[in-house]
Amino acid sequence: MLVLFNRGDVHMPISELPGLVCRDISYGQENIPIPATNLVDNPPVPPSGFVYSKSLQIPEYIKIPADSIGCNCKGDCSSSTHCLCAVHNGSDLPYVSRQKKLSAKHVDSTHKNIGRLVEPKAVVFECGANCSCHCSCVNRTSQQGLQYHLEVFKTELKGWAVRTWDTILPGALICEYTGVLRRNAEVEGLLDNNYIFDIDCLQTIKGLDGRKQRSGSELHMASLQDEHDSEASQAPEYCIDAGSIGNIARFINHSCQPNLFIQCILSSHRDIKLAKIMLVAADTIPPLQELSYDYGYGMDSVIGPDGNVVKLACHCGASDCRKRLY
């Protein structure tokens, strides 16, 4: 199949990309192929050392809560006046809908609702397994898979990186951060694994560690307080380990001036400690721009086995770069 990409307003088949080392790092798992290019190494090599997985892998020893009560809407919840999921989001759905044509990768060419987040929220409540709305409901936007043409490419100083070939509007959901769900106690002290993502949504909701509280924090704390009342629940209990299994999110680099932000999402259950982690566009992102988000490390926050502070230089290139990742 010939797939044409709009790369900086120039249409070209993937096979003609300069430095192409892999036609699709997802090997057909994603809606849209993700090519990888390498113009840095000689000889050029593709990304390696991991297995691609578009879905979060959950070990048997971690029990996911039972599905929560869903809405009884028909079709798309945006046309319902009494949507239970909208109530959880503060009486309004968190997404504004737009029509986007599916890629040729899909079995049909119908249109479906792909939403954009109206604003960053403490947590977004999506429709889930017990909801009666259609699978293409706008309030299932994070469940629709990859919707943008992205490329993994090798850089001189930052290893692999990700850039877009499409114009991405603010609030657009880019991808979930996937990997293996683990308890934080399992990965403590693993300084050689740079792909650990703490599920620390509760800290954002409570505005801990100097974080700015997001829209709906008080509402969401009231909704979730029965499960998370203790002081112990403030510390992240779970993380996502994308060291050996993950998706395109593991290649997105840190920036001190990022164009993406992190959004916690709940759909099938209401345990914020096990929320889905999504990367969302903070601004309009033009074609060929690298995607990035703030990794959120505090300065001098990483301690080595010898008890000394570990320092890592930042090469994001932002005008206000802190010069150190941690």
The phi and psi torsions of 27 (rounded to 5 degrees) equal 50, 50
DSSP assignment letter at 113: E
Task: Supply φ then ψ for residue 88, to 5 degrees.
Answer: -60, -30
pLDDT, one tens digit for every residue, the chain (326 residues): 455 555 554 567 898 999 999 999 999 999 999 999 999 999 999 999 999 999 999 999 999 998 888 999 999 999 888 999 999 998 899 999 865 444 444 333 333 557 999 999 989 999 999 999 999 999 999 999 999 999 999 999 999 999 999 999 999 999 999 999 999 888 876 656 689 999 988 877 765 554 556 666 555 555 565 444 554 456 789 999 999 999 999 999 999 999 999 999 999 898 999 999 999 999 999 999 999 999 987 787 777 777 788 888 999 999 999 998 88
CATH 2.170.270.10 fits 16-94+114-213+236-293, yes or no: yes
Planar angle of CA 135, 2, 56, nearest 5 degrees: 40
Token reading at 162: 């990700």
Q: Can the peptide bond before residue 286 be classed as cis, meaning omega within 30 degrees of 0?
A: no
Task: List own/partner pairs for 273-277 with CB under 8 A and 24 or more apart.
Answer: 273/199, 273/201, 273/202, 273/228, 273/233, 273/236, 273/237, 273/238, 274/64, 274/65, 274/181, 274/199, 274/238, 275/123, 275/199, 275/201, 276/56, 276/142, 276/176, 277/176, 277/177, 277/197, 277/199, 277/240
Q: What is the pLDDT of residue 103?
A: 42
pLDDT score recorded for residue 40: 97
> Looking at the whole model, is its pTM more than 0.95?
no
Q: Give pLDDT, residue 141.
A: 97
The pLDDT value recorded for residue 175 is: 98
Q: How many CB atoms lie within 10 A of CB 271?
A: 17
Are 37 and 151 in contact by the 8 Å Cβ rule? The answer is yes
**CA 303 to each of CA 30, 98, 299, 308: distance values in angstroms, whole numbers, following the listed order:** 37, 46, 11, 6
CA distance 237 to 182: 9
Q: How far apart are CA 93 and CA 279, in angstroms?
A: 19
